[in-house]
Amino acid sequence: MSALDINNLQNSFNQALNVSAGAVSTSPTQSYMNSVPARLHSYSVSQRQKALKPFFTGDIKILLLENVNQTAVEIFTNQGYQVEFYKSSLPEEELIEKIKDVHAIGIRSKTQLGENILKHAKNLVVVGCFCIGTNQVDLKYAASMGVSVFNSPFSNSRSVAELVIAEIIVLARQIGDRSIELHTGTWNKVSSRCWEVRGKTLGIIGYGHIGSQLSVLAESMGMHVIYYDIVTIMSLGTAKQVSTLDELLNKADFVTLHVPETADTKNLLSAPQFAAMKDGAYVINASRGTVIDIPSLILAMKAGKIGGAAIDVFPHEPAKNGAGAFSDDLNKWTSELVSLPNVILTPHIGGSTEEAQSAIGVEVASAMSKYINEGASVGSVNFPEVSLRALNLDQDNTVRVLYIHKNVPGVLKTVNNILSNHNIEKQFSDSSGEIAYLMADIADVNQSDIKSIYDELNKTPEKISIRLLY
Ligand SMILES: NC(=O)c1ccc[n+]([C@@H]2O[C@H](COP(=O)([O-])OP(=O)(O)OC[C@H]3O[C@@H](n4cnc5c(N)ncnc54)[C@H](O)[C@@H]3O)[C@@H](O)[C@H]2O)c1
Ligand SMILES: O=C(O)[C@H](O)COP(=O)(O)O
């Protein structure tokens, strides 16, 4: 068995471990450490590290924030890594202290990893976003440090699409208001401005994983679907792509947003867009809080232009669960928004289902482990995608070189000169923007060679980070 084969490693450690989802306590933080480190060991050196230091998988420290799913905790502990687990995100100061030391960090949508935080990371190799969105991480800066970022591109798409389907019906029938009224003892049986969704038009902005899935579900309820996207995308079912946002706004009874947070999507729906919508149209946002200008939405609702809204994401979201968290301190317009009729507010739960979270935990933790153990960057969102088949450590004196460098001419020639005294068994190199990544397996390498290969590679001015796995 290759000691770098994650599945095999997991199998062997499963027997040695006694970690299960049920082992997690409700205390705010929990540390997990497998007492049996994996055979894998490496030199890991980057510009940011002061010293060359060998480590075993038992030395790898992983910080998990925001209640990342227990499937991920199990995968990491099975690898022998040390896992520190928090249910919420951390205040900035605390995050800076924690990130200084760790090799990997797992977050969800709340934790902001900008340059101000990342620059303190001395040993960081990989970031895992246990969600779809990666806007919370400065991807370019992370790449410039040699830090690869992974996410889960579609494991929660279905959960979001189902939430939106529910919200379409809840808005059309004013179910939220009727429920609140009856909770407080008021019987208010009305049919005025309550509608079936059959035959109505759903306008989807952003026809990616979520938007297209939603399209199929909406059509199965008899809705007509139109969509607007910046790229031309083949429609599913009988949905029709429209060529301008205005056309969608003019035609749709329900407008729902499924775009990423980018400079172009900031306030994508603001006063002019609400004015362009049909009278009484409904607005749904389960994408990112910056995509709708909420004060303009409030004005449009007060004017009777918009018939209802469902909002799952907010420009400023609280760091943890608890009463009073959704306050005017975070978002100045909160009290106005909550006092409007037919407004559904949910605490960013679009992707929060057991199915989605468990699948995301497995997907992202597996990608991170593969990157730590083998250097495989397939699926990375900020890195060239490089992979070689698992390194066979049963074969004596084979070393895997992971060399991340600036994408400038002449580097491969220099590196291959350094490696040229050894048999290069396999090699793969790719680049993406300013970053390039070379992976090579070299044979016939003894212990002293490892040190000298490292020293030579470390002298190359283009290097960003180096790891040698053996
Ligand atoms: N509420 C939640 O819990 C939750 C869960 C998952 C995802 N999300 C958010 O939903 C977003 C969409 O997810 P997805 O998986 O469908 O992403 P995706 O990348 O598959 O699709 C996004 C689509 O938006 C399009 N797009 C980008 N900019 C646009 C613009 N200016 N105008 C129109 N279209 C534009 C893209 O071309 C793409 O087709 C994510 O980026 C994330 O922020 C929220
Ligand atoms: O980007 C995502 O996948 C969603 O916004 C969900 O984020 P969460 O994992 O923080 O709920």
User: Could you tell me the distance, in angstroms and rounded to a whole number, from the CA of residue 103 to the centre of ligand 2?
Assistant: 23
Pick 327 or 442 by higher pLDDT: 442
133 lines ligand 2 (CB under 6 A): yes
User: Could you tell me the distance, in angstroms and rounded to a whole number, from the CA of residue 207 to the centre of ligand 1?
Assistant: 8
The pLDDT-based confidence of 325 (bands split at 50, 70, 90) is low
pLDDT at 445: 87
pLDDT at 46: 44
Pick 43 or 108 by higher pLDDT: 108
Nearest CA to ligand 2 atom 7: 109
- Check 108, 173, 224, 348 and give the catalytic one: 348
Task: Based on the residue annotation, tell me whether 385 is a catalytic residue of this protein.
Answer: no
Asked if 23 and 78 touch (Cβ cutoff 8 Å), the reply is: no
| Strands of the 104-107 sheet, one edge to the other | 29-33, 82-86, 61-64, 104-107, 126-129, 148-150
Looking at the chain, the whole-number percentage of residues with pLDDT higher than 70 is 86
Mean pLDDT in the chain? Answer: 88
Q: Structural domains in the chain?
A: 57-151+356-374 (3.40.50.720), 157-345 (3.40.50.720), 399-469 (3.30.70.260)
286 lines ligand 1 (CB under 6 A): yes
156 lines ligand 2 (CB under 6 A): yes
| Cα angle 201, 302, 248; round to 5 | 25
Pairwise CA distance, residues 190 & 177, whole Å: 11
The pLDDT-based confidence of 439 (bands split at 50, 70, 90) is very high
Least confident window among 13-27, 90-104, 195-209: 13-27
> Closest by alpha carbon to 276, among 234, 228, 231?
228
Amino acid at 319: A
Q: Which atom of ligand 1 is nearest to the CA of 258?
A: 12
**What are the pLDDT digits (tens) for 34-59?**
433 343 445 554 434 433 343 478 88
Which ligand is in closest contact with the Cα of 67?
A: 2
Across the range 142-148, mean pLDDT stands at: 97
Q: Are strands 423-432 and 463-469 parallel, antiparallel or unpaired?
A: unpaired
Amino acid at 20: S
Measured distance between the N- and C-terminal CA atoms of the chain, rounded to whole angstroms = 14
**What are the pLDDT digits (tens) for 391-429?**
766 666 788 999 999 999 999 999 999 999 889 999 999
User: Could you tell me the distance, in angstroms and rounded to a whole number, from the CA of residue 386 to the centre of ligand 2?
Assistant: 27
State yes or no: pLDDT of 329 exceeds 80: no
Which ligand is in closest contact with the Cα of 284?
A: 1
134 lines ligand 2 (CB under 6 A): no
315 lines ligand 2 (CB under 6 A): no
158 lines ligand 1 (CB under 6 A): no
pLDDT at 395: 66
Q: Which atom of ligand 1 is nearest to the CA of 288?
A: 43
Q: Which atom of ligand 1 is nearest to the CA of 268?
A: 31
Pairwise CA distance, residues 342 & 228, whole Å: 26
Nearest CA to ligand 1 atom 33: 229
User: Could you tell me the distance, in angstroms and rounded to a whole number, from the CA of residue 285 to the centre of ligand 1?
Assistant: 11
> Closest by alpha carbon to 314, among 293, 339, 340?
293
**What are the pLDDT digits (tens) for 285-305?**
999 999 999 999 999 999 999
108 lines ligand 2 (CB under 6 A): yes
Task: Based on the residue annotation, tell me whether 288 is a catalytic residue of this protein.
Answer: yes
User: Could you tell me the distance, in angstroms and rounded to a whole number, from the CA of residue 57 to the centre of ligand 1?
Assistant: 36
Q: What is the chain's length?
A: 470
Which ligand is in closest contact with the Cα of 209?
A: 1
Q: What is the pTM of this model?
A: 0.89
Least confident window among 250-254, 331-335, 357-361: 331-335
State yes or no: pLDDT of 6 exceeds 50: no
Q: Which atom of ligand 2 is nearest to the CA of 132?
A: 3
Across the range 381-389, mean pLDDT stands at: 95
Looking at the chain, the whole-number percentage of residues with pLDDT higher than 90 is 78
Across the range 21-30, mean pLDDT stands at: 36
State yes or no: pLDDT of 372 exceeds 80: yes
pLDDT at 158: 98
Asked if 41 and 468 touch (Cβ cutoff 8 Å), the reply is: no
pLDDT at 94: 97
Pairwise CA distance, residues 289 & 295, whole Å: 12
pLDDT at 334: 86
Pairwise CA distance, residues 165 & 160, whole Å: 9
pLDDT at 30: 60
164 lines ligand 1 (CB under 6 A): no
User: Could you tell me the distance, in angstroms and rounded to a whole number, from the CA of residue 351 to the centre of ligand 2?
Assistant: 6
Q: What is the 3-state secondary structure (H, E, C) of the chain?
A: CCCCCHHHHHHHHHHHCCCCHHHCCCCCEEEEECCCCCCCEEEEEECCCCCCCEEEHHHCEEEECCCCCHHHHHHHHHCCCEEEEECCCCCHHHHHHHHCCCCEEEECCCCCECHHHHCCCCCCCEEEECCCCCCCECHHHHHHCCCEEECCCCCCHHHHHHHHHHHHHHHHCCHHHHHHHHHCCCCCCCCCCCCCCCCCEEEEECCCHHHHHHHHHHHHCCCEEEEECCCCCCCCCCCEECCCHHHHHHHCCEEEECCCCCCCCCCCECHHHHHHCCCCEEEEECCCHHHECHHHHHHHHHCCCEEEEEECCCCCCCCCCCCCCCCCCCCCCHHHHHCCCCEEECCCCCCCCHHHHHHHHHHHHHHHHHHHHHCCCCCCCCCCCCCCCCCCCCCCCCEEEEEEEECCCCHHHHHHHHHCCCEEEEEEEEEECCEEEEEEEEECCCHHHHHHHHHHHHHCCCEEEEEEEC
352 lines ligand 2 (CB under 6 A): yes
The pLDDT-based confidence of 23 (bands split at 50, 70, 90) is very low
pLDDT at 14: 26
pLDDT at 390: 80
- Check 41, 209, 288, 422 and give the catalytic one: 288
Mutate which of 167, 209, 259 for ligand 1 pocket (most atoms within 8 A of beta carbon): 259
Nearest CA to ligand 1 atom 19: 208
Is the predicted ipTM greater than 0.95, yes or no?
yes
**What are the pLDDT digits (tens) for 110-132?**
999 999 999 999 999 999 999 99
Q: Which atom of ligand 2 is nearest to the CA of 151?
A: 3
User: Could you tell me the distance, in angstroms and rounded to a whole number, from the CA of residue 131 to the centre of ligand 2?
Assistant: 5
User: Could you tell me the distance, in angstroms and rounded to a whole number, from the CA of residue 314 to the centre of ligand 2?
Assistant: 12
The pLDDT-based confidence of 174 (bands split at 50, 70, 90) is very high
360 lines ligand 1 (CB under 6 A): no
Task: Based on the residue annotation, tell me whether 354 is a catalytic residue of this protein.
Answer: no
The pLDDT-based confidence of 324 (bands split at 50, 70, 90) is confident
